[in-house]
């Protein structure tokens, strides 16, 4: 599972008993996708526990459910951009995930945009979909000493898969005016085959940070001129919400921003490097612009807690039960 999916599962398991104590909970996990433990072991465990409702927190599910179910589908990026993923992924969604959604009493997703995708790709009726935005950890609201950097920098947080559209970010950054001494920091390894070094100059550089520990992320957000998310599509995109909570402006592809975060985001059209470059120049140079988006981002982020996410999820259980 992705980092975001793991965060979602961890936070719900921890918070549901506290915010919705009217229900009893049991957690099941540790099964490998499509192995014996997932397809046979998990259903047997659930049946022995006599559960009244099963919530599958991701798309990796057994073919047989031992009780009425709810499933969370964070996004359908794999079906939107099949060329960027392994050939076996599409058939899995169209068979196993479609079946899981069809039998589920409710389908939970993170953003309104995914409701249309669920209907288009998997035939899910919008009437049984519930949209529950994800939450942000409280630590991102805590005042943090920014990382010490040689120059001002922009920040990208995420993996380097093709649909993340990092080429557009690189082209936009490379076309910034010569006077913009603005580095670009990327989380993750330098797996670009020398591209970062070829684009770097004496005045500014692209820096691969490697794996950034969770407790260091707030400091990187706090020091950045902006978080940049150029992805062609995101389900929810936790880094966008984390950056807003930490007081970092967000510049993102218009198709990558959750609806609830749109009012506090500076957006550009997918693959339009010129538009992105102009926005990056403005957000780096204009303190008034930055302050305006920092304020609106913090205001929205404060409403999107994990406790709220857990409570809304428990309300879906109540609908079914």
SS3 12: helix
Q: Where does the pLDDT of residue 91 fall: very low under 50, low under 70, confident under 90, or very high at 90 and above? A: very high
The rounded distance, in Å, linking the Cα atoms of 78 and 58 is: 14
Share of the chain above pLDDT 90, in %: 87
Other beta carbons within 10 angstroms of residue 184's beta carbon come to 25
97 token code pair: 């995930």
Beta bridge partners of 252: 229, 267
- Kindly write down the DSSP assignment for every residue of 79-148, as one continuous string: HH-GGGS-TTHHHHIIIIIHHHHHH-SEEEESSTHHHHHHHHHH---GGGEEE----B-GGGGS--PPPP
Q: Which two tokens stand for residue 282?
A: 């403005």
State pLDDT tens for residues 226-239: 999 999 999 898 99
Return the DSSP state at 210. B
Burial of 193 (0-12, 13-18, 19+ CB in 10 A): exposed
* Average pLDDT in the chain: 94
CA distances from 40 to 37, 111, 185 (A): 6, 32, 45
Cα angle 136, 138, 143 (rounded to 5 degrees) comes to 115
Please name every residue paired with 207 in a beta bridge, in sequence order, or none if there are none.
Answer: 185
What residue ranges define each of the domains in the chain, with the CATH number in brackets?
3-135+305-320 (3.40.50.2000), 138-301 (3.40.50.2000)
Task: Sort residue 247 into left (φ over 0), alpha (ψ -120 to 50) or beta.
Answer: left
- Cα–Cα distances (Å) from 101 to 58, 109, 119, 195, 233, in that order, read 11, 11, 10, 42, 21
Predicted TM-score (pTM) of this structure: 0.93
**Rounded to 5 degrees, what are φ and ψ at 158?**
155, 180
Q: How far apart are CA 245 and CA 6, in angstroms?
A: 20
Q: Residues of 57-67 as b/e, b for ≥16 C-beta within 10 angstroms? A: bbbbbbeebbe
Quick: pLDDT tens for 192-247.
999 999 999 999 999 999 999 989 999 999 999 999 999 999 989 899 999 999 99
Res. 128: pLDDT tops 80: yes
């Amino acid at each position: 599972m992705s980092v975001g999916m793991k965060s979602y599962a961890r936070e719900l398991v921890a918070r549901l008993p506290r915010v919705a104590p009217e229900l009893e909970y049991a957690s099941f996990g540790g099964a490998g996708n499509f192995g014996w433990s997932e397809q046979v072991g998990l259903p047997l465990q659930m049946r022995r526990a006599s559960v009244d409702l099963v919530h599958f927190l991701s798309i990796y599910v057994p073919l047989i459910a031992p009780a009425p179910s709810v499933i969370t589908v964070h996004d359908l990026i794999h079906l939107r951009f099949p060329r960027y993923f392994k050939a076996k992924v599409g058939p899995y969604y169209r068979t196993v995930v479609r079946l899981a959604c069809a039998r589920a009493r409710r389908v939970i997703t993170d953003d309104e945009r995914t409701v249309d995708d669920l209907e288009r790709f998997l035939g899910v009726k919008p009437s049984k979909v519930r949209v529950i935005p994800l939450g942000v950890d409280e630590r991102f609201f805590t005042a943090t000493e920014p990382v010490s950097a040689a120059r001002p920098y922009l920040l990208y947080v995420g993996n380097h898969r093709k649909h993340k559209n990092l080429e557009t970010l690189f082209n936009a950054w490379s076309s910034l005016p010569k006077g913009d001494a603005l580095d670009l920091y990327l989380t993750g390894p330098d797996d670009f085959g020398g591209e970062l070094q070829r684009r770097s100059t004496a005045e500014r550089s692209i820096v691969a940070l490697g794996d950034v520990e969770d407790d260091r992320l707030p400091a990187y957000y706090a020091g950045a001129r902006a978080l940049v998310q150029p992805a062609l599509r995101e389900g929810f995109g936790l880094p966008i919400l984390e950056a807003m909570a930490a007081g970092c402006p967000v510049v993102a592809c218009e198709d990558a921003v959750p609806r609830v975060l749109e009012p506090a985001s500076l957006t550009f059209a997918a693959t339009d490097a010129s538009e992105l470059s102009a926005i990056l120049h403005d957000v780096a140079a204009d303190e008034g612009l930055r302050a305006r988006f920092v304020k609106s981002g913090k205001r929205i982020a404060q409403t999107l807690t994990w406790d709220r996410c857990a409570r809304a999820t428990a309300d879906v259980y109540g609908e079914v039960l």
